[in-house]
Structures are given as structure tokens and as C-alpha cells.
């Protein structure tokens, strides 16, 4: 019972969740004292699930228990560390024969057993093992489908949409890949042309459809705001297409994944599943880095294998809040290509214009074709997902050698030389002069600093003025509402943490005080309060992450919370009393900001180091900025430390 007692000690100190301990105690009661070590490992698998890992990586556990389990956690008190067994002591107490004991246990690898052991490498809860196997089997079926298409005809269409190829175009390659394959991943950072590519892909698919009926195309994203941005971007890009192609695309509404699959009240299950599939020829999912393993399993189960599935997203962003890093695993090593020779030959044929293919200009031909170092003789066997993946590599939004683009790239590639130089230069400048290109460092020792307060007040002043002025000067309430929601996207503060002096909750309290005085608190329903939905509310058709603002249309009306509607151009004005799970959103966490972009983004780094500070977190926050970024921190060295730390989530999709 000593191991179970140690687990209880972890739970009492807040190091372990109640559900983790309960699983261990349940298995111990069913299997007996001889299986105590197995029960403890089950609790650790559950604990890892709470940290976003769909499994427990056993080799990592044996090598570095503290780092793998993040025990003791960052919030552990000095006394609790001395009261509790360490992770190293706990793992050592499991005994040298634990893997053999796992393999022989009735709780592992038997019919409907709660645990599944994969070789000697990974231990899963049964449900998450099933999710992973379902995804792998489904994607294998889709990848096996190679749609026959005349290369010359496809190249002519791509010439119409992208122009005749004179240099290697990754956007064009992605379009060709998706037309050919039943499953495709298009990954790339901000401004690399994902929407540009998708619009031309949709036109190409409709142009080369097998029969006269238009393809049934469904567009979706994990959150309402990501779906809205996807829809707006596609409709804007459509204006740049030749009329003969834009006329092929009439239905371009994007919805959340929950709406796509059909939610059911008081149930985790969806209306569309294997026995009631979603009728669609093509499904395109944006911001796929936010899709967790459970949702991806639901998507693959709901789509017939004849449906073409296309994932869009930035593999370098933060993974989903829930368990799994699906996109990151599918795109692993995408920078290196690893294309099989026959695939590279076909892709080159879709790129090369007829004049070049005749050999009129050998040098030009080489500049258009895939480089040899992207071709791998073992690509098809060792990197099957990459045979269906294209990485977009050139940002058209940011300059690669300065400002936001340079900062994001250096952090993403974990290079610190330029970053250290920039931080040193920025530290030495006054606040007024610290803006270099479109990035600015604001170094403040306290969250109450006058310069930080001024930044917040100036950033939110236009929104406050718009709220105070009301609908006067606008054609109608709808025009005013649209202006308010657009202004919400102009300035946004992002925090790395939820709690602490530099966490989201405390910064929201300060912003509320600085912008409204002491007449309200951040928890009250005051006019002008920006809010975020924190849990799906199916009765109101609101999703986790939806953003609104409290306004008063007329003096004789009660305040309402304004949200975007699901139909294009529609707005919703809801009474605050109808909303149950909301929080003030002057500041949101970087995790919650995924799928959004803001004209001026302020990223706040805490004053002390924490395992949550990683290069993925910084990269995601920085790339939410469209035109201007302000990095607020007390200690610039933490930015360098975070750049050198990566998130490594377990899983067996690769």
C-alpha cells in the first residue's frame, strides 16, 4: 500500500487529480496488492492525459521521471516537496520487472482492458489507444486512394490560377497534392498563403470533378472565431480569382467542428458517426493544430472513406488544449520533405510549364523542380504521412529578415544569437525608441508600472470610445455592432499563464481598474466589458473561445452581450443573465488566442521561469500579431530560456 499512499500524498498536495488517484484505487481494489505497481502506472497515464499526452512514454519515464511527469509541479511549496515522495523515488519503487508485470496483468492488453501496452514503449488508457488506432487506420485508407487525373489538364488549370510556373511554388504543389490524394496536410506559418492556396484548390477540385454535379464541400475550424476568419479570408480571396473559377464556388460558409459533426445535448457523442456519416465530398479543416486526438477520431469516424479530408494549420503552434498533438505528429520532419521519387516526379510534372519541359532552359527547369535533398528513397515506407503533406515556406505577411517575421522564425528555430542581440539593444533604449521595425520590448519590473498602464489604456481607448458613443453616427445597430467586433480585433493582450501577478486573471483585474476605475470589478457585467465563453453552451449555440462585448444600445434597454452570429453578417445580442461560463477578455491566455489575429498584440511574459514557457508558446503568441507586437517582460533572459525549451507530447501517430 506504500505506493498508493504516496499517490494520496501527491493528491493531497495538489500534484495529482482526483480522477488519477481514483483510477489507481479502483484497479488496486479489483486486482489486489500484487498489482499495486500496475495501479500506480494507470494513475500516471491518467495524470499525463491531464497534461495533454495521450499516453505515458515509458522510456522517458525511466530516464527522467521528474521532467516526464512534471512532479513536483511549479506551484509546489517547499514543505510539500519534503512531505511527498519524489517522482524518482516512486518510479524506482515500481521495481525492475514492472514492464513484464504490465504485460502479464489482466488490466493490460486483454479484451476491453482499461490499459493498453504498446511494445515496451507506451502505456495508454484504452479509449485513447482506440482513438489513435482509428485515426491511423482511417488515414491509411484515405492515403491509399490516388485519384486519377490528367497531369496536363491539371497543369493548365494551375497555370490559370497560379500563373505559369517560373519558380518553385509550394502553394501550387499543395493544390496538386490535394487534388490527387484522399488525405492532405497543408502546413505553414502566418502569411505563407494557406487561404490563397485553399481557394485555388477549391476551384481546381470543382473544375476537375468526376461528374456534372458540384462537389459537396464543407469548411470547418475548431472554434467559432477561427471558422469566421476562415470564411472571411476565403470570400475575400475569391475576388481575386478569374470569374470562370469563382463562379464555381458559391457555398463557402465555415462552421465549428462541433456544428459540422452535430452536437447532442448531455452527450459526448455526435450526430454524425460511422453509422450516420456526414455527406460530403470534401472536408477542409483550418487551424488543425488545435484539434485533439478525440476530436480527430470523431472526424475520421464521421467521414466516409471516399470523402477527401484536407487539414490546414501551423505545425509549430501550440498543440490542442486537450490530449494529443495530431497535426504536429503528422507533419513531423515536413521541412525535410522526404518525398518518394515517383511522387516528386509527378509533382514536378504539375509544376513545369510546357516550354521548360521541352528542355529550352535547363537552368529554369531546375529552379522549378523539387530539390534533390527533399527526395528520399525510403520516404514512402518511413514517412507515409509526408507523402501527403506540403509545407508552405515563404511568408508574404512578414519580412523574413526583420520585425515580427524575424522574431517568430528565430524563436521557432530555437536560435538565440539574433534574439539575444535584439533583447540587448531593446533593453538599452528608452520606451519611446524601443520599437524596432514592428516589434517592441517593454521591460517593466512590476505589473503596476506606469508605462504598462499607459500601453493598456492607449490600446483600448478606441474601443471604449466606440462603446460610449453608441450607435449614433452609424446607419443602424448592425453597423455599430460590426464596428465594435472589428475594433475588438485591433488590440489584444495575451498572457502566458492564467494565475500569478503576470497571469491572465490578475492582468484582467488591473485592466478593468485602469479602464473603468474602481466602480466595477472584472467579474461584473459592466458596459464595455469584453468577454470570452469558456465552455460550450449548446442551448445558446455558443462555443468555448467565442468573444463578445457588453453594450447598451439604448438608455431604456438593459445591457446586452454582442456576439457574431453563425450566418454571414449576422449578429447576436444576448442578455448577460443567459450566459453562465464567461470571463473578462481584456487579457486572454496565449492558448485561447489560437485561431485569432490582432492588429496590435501584446504578449506578456511572467517574471519567473516555468515549464509552460516554451518556444511553441512564444511563437504562437507572437504570430497572433498582424502589424505590431509588444513583448512585455520583467526579465528578458526568460525569453531566451523559453526559446530553448520545447513541448514534446507523447503519442504513436508518427
Separation in Å, CA 378 to CA 372, 374, 375, 386, 390:
14, 12, 9, 12, 18
> Number of C-alpha atoms within 13 angstroms, CB side, residue 356?
20
Helix (H) or strand (E) holding 316: none
- Grid coordinates standing for 27? 484497479
Angle at 234 between CA 545 and CA 539, to 5 degrees: 35
- Grid coordinates standing for 502? 503576470
Angle at 156 between CA 150 and CA 161, to 5 degrees: 125
636 is in an annotated binding site: no
Quote the CA–CA distance of 567 and 252 in Å, as a whole number. 11
Quote the CA–CA distance of 281 and 279 in Å, as a whole number. 7
194 is in an annotated binding site: yes
The Cβ of residue 578 has, within 10 Å, a number of other Cβ atoms equal to 12
Max CA separation in the chain (angstroms): 79
Can you tell me which residue has the cell 490542442? Answer: 320
627 is in an annotated binding site: no
Separation in Å, CA 343 to CA 68, 101, 146, 350, 377:
38, 45, 11, 11, 11
- Grid coordinates standing for 427? 533593453
Nearest to 85 by CA among 72, 101, 103: 72
Q: Which residues contact 578 (CB under 8 A, 6 or more apart)?
A: 540
Decide if 434 contacts 426 (C-beta within 8 A): yes
115-118 sheet: strands from edge to edge: 55-57, 122-125, 115-118
225 is in an annotated binding site: no
Beta strands in 293-409 (DSSP E): 308-313, 389-392
- Grid coordinates standing for 496? 502566458
Quote the CA–CA distance of 557 and 579 in Å, as a whole number. 18
Quote the CA–CA distance of 400 and 408 in Å, as a whole number. 9
Quote the CA–CA distance of 339 and 373 in Å, as a whole number. 9
188 is in an annotated binding site: yes
CB burial of residue 421 (10 Å; 0-12, 13-18, 19+): exposed
189 is in an annotated binding site: yes
192 is in an annotated binding site: yes
Instruction: Give the bridge partners for 380, in sequence order.
Output: none
Quote the CA–CA distance of 492 and 481 in Å, as a whole number. 18
Quote the CA–CA distance of 441 and 452 in Å, as a whole number. 11
Q: What share of the chain is helix, strand, coil (3-state, %, to 5)?
A: 45, 15, 40
Query: Which residues make up each annotated binding site for ATP?
Result: 188-195
Query: Which residues make up each annotated binding site?
Result: 188-195
Amino acid at each position: 500500500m506504500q505506493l498508493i499512499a504516496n499517490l494520496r500524498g501527491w493528491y493531497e498536495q495538489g500534484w495529482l487529480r482526483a480522477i488519477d488517484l481514483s483510477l489507481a484505487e479502483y484497479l488496486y481494489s479489483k486486482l489486489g496488492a500484487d498489482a499495486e505497481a500496475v495501479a500506480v502506472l494507470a494513475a500516471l497515464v491518467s495524470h499525463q492525459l491531464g497534461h495533454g499526452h495521450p499516453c505515458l512514454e515509458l522510456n522517458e519515464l525511466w530516464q527522467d521521471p521528474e521532467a516526464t511527469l512534471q512532479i513536483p509541479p511549479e506551484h509546489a511549496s517547499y514543505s510539500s516537496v519534503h512531505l511527498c515522495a519524489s517522482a524518482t523515488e516512486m518510479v524506482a519503487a515500481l521495481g525492475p520487472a514492472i514492464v513484464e508485470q504490465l504485460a502479464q496483468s489482466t488490466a493490460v492488453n486483454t479484451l476491453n482492458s482499461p490499459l493498453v501496452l504498446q511494445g515496451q514503449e507506451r502505456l495508454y488508457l484504452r479509449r485513447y489507444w482506440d482513438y489513435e488506432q482509428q485515426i491511423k487506420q482511417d488515414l491509411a485508407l484515405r492515403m491509399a486512394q490516388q485519384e486519377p487525373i490528367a497531369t496536363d489538364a491539371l497543369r493548365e488549370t494551375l497555370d490559370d490560377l497560379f500563373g505559369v510556373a517560373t519558380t518553385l511554388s509550394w502553394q501550387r504543389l499543395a493544390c496538386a497534392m490535394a487534388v490527387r490524394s484522399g488525405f492532405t496536410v497543408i502546413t505553414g506559418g502566418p502569411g505563407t498563403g494557406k487561404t490563397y492556396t485553399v481557394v485555388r484548390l477549391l476551384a481546381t477540385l470543382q473544375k476537375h470533378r468526376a461528374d456534372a454535379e458540384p462537389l459537396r464541400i464543407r469548411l470547418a475550424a475548431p472554434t467559432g472565431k477561427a471558422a469566421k476568419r476562415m470564411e472571411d479570408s476565403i470570400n475575400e480571396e475569391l475576388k481575386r480569382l478569374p470569374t470562370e473559377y469563382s463562379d464555381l464556388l458559391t457555398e463557402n460558409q465555415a462552421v465549428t467542428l462541433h456544428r459540422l459533426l452535430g452536437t447532442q445535448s448531455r452527450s459526448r457523442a455526435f450526430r454524425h458517426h460511422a453509422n450516420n456519416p456526414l455527406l460530403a465530398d470534401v472536408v477542409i479543416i483550418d487551424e488543425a493544430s488545435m484539434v485533439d486526438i478525440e476530436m480527430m477520431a470523431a472526424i475520421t469516424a464521421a467521414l466516409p472513406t471516399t470523402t477527401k479530408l484536407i487539414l490546414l494549420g501551423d505545425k509549430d503552434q501550440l498543440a490542442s488544449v486537450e490530449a494529443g498533438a495530431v497535426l504536429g505528429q503528422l507533419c513531423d520532419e515536413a521541412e525535410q520533405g522526404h518525398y518518394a521519387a515517383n511522387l516528386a516526379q509527378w509533382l514536378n510534372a504539375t509544376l513545369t510549364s510546357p516550354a521548360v519541359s521541352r528542355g529550352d532552359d535547363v537552368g529554369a527547369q531546375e529552379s522549378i523542380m523539387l530539390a534533390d535533398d527533399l527526395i528520399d528513397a525510403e520516404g514512402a515506407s518511413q514517412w507515409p504521412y509526408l507523402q501527403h503533406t506540403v509545407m508552405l515556406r515563404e511568408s508574404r505577411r512578414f519580412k523574413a529578415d526583420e520585425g515580427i517575421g524575424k522574431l517568430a522564425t528565430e524563436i521557432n528555430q530555437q536560435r538565440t544569437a539574433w534574439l539575444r542581440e535584439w533583447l540587448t539593444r531593446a533593453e538599452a533604449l528608452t520606451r519611446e525608441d524601443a520599437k524596432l521595425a514592428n516589434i517592441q520590448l517593454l521591460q517593466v519590473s512590476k505589473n503596476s508600472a506606469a508605462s504598462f498602464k499607459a500601453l493598456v489604456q492607449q490600446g483600448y481607448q478606441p474601443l471604449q470610445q466606440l462603446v460610449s458613443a453608441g450607435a449614433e453616427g452609424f446607419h443602424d445597430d448592425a453597423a455599430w455592432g460590426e464596428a465594435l467586433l472589428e475594433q475588438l480585433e485591433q488590440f489584444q493582450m495575451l498572457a502566458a499563464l492564467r494565475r500569478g501577478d503576470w497571469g491572465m486573471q490578475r492582468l484582467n483585474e488591473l485592466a478593468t481598474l485602469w479602464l473603468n476605475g474602481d466602480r466595477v470589478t472584472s467579474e461584473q457585467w459592466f458596459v464595455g466589458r469584453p468577454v470570452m465563453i469558456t465552455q460550450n453552451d449548446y442551448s445558446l449555440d455558443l462555443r468555448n473561445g467565442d468573444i463578445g462585448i457588453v453594450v447598451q444600445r439604448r438608455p431604456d434597454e438593459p445591457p446586452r452581450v454582442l456576439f457574431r452570429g453563425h450566418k454571414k453578417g449576422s449578429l447576436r445580442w444576448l442578455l448577460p443573465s443567459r450566459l453562465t461560463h464567461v470571463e473578462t477578455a481584456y487579457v486572454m491566455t496565449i492558448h485561447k488566442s489560437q485561431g485569432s489575429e490582432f492588429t496590435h498584440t501584446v504578449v506578456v511574459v511572467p517574471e519567473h521561469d516555468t515549464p509552460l514557457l516554451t518556444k511553441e508558446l512564444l511563437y504562437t503568441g507572437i504570430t497572433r500579431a498582424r502589424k505590431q507586437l509588444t513583448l512585455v517582460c520583467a526579465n528578458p533572459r526568460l525569453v531566451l530560456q523559453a526559446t530553448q525549451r520545447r513541448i514534446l507530447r507523447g503519442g504513436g501517430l508518427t
